[in-house]
Amino acid sequence: MTAAPTLWFQGTRALNGAHGVTFGDGLRCVGGTIVRLAIHVNVGGASQYPGVGDASISQRGGVTAGDVRFYQAYYRNAASFCTSAPFNLTNAVGVRWGP
């Protein structure tokens, strides 16, 4: 990941049977109701959420026990790989929140 802002977001479903849809230089795999969790600048090729001073994922995302949510990050990347799009996405992950 380049030293650029990254948008961390949560969704209520996986897109295209969890295979994703083409978006920028990658695949957007998270859909449904989207919650923007945070924007952090990548440092040394990485970033994370939550960071120091951030609300927890469950608090910011409004999740409760038993909820299933999907997470992914969207970031600027001016290098052309698959397309000429100046952005890409991370892999996505699904989480079933427990007690």
Per-residue pLDDT of the chain (99 residues; tens, 9 = 90+): 778 899 999 999 999 999 999 888 889 999 999 999 999 998 998 889 998 899 999 999 999 999 999 999 998 876 666 666 778 899 999 999 997
Task: Provide the residue range defining the domain that includes 55.
Answer: 5-96
CA distance linking residue 64 with residue 58, whole number of Å: 7
Domain count, the chain: 1
**Token pair for 92:** 């996505």
Residue in the structure block whose two tokens are 């695949």: 27
Burial grade of 96 (CB within 10 A; 0-12, 13-18, 19 or more)? exposed
CA distance linking residue 76 with residue 74, whole number of Å: 7
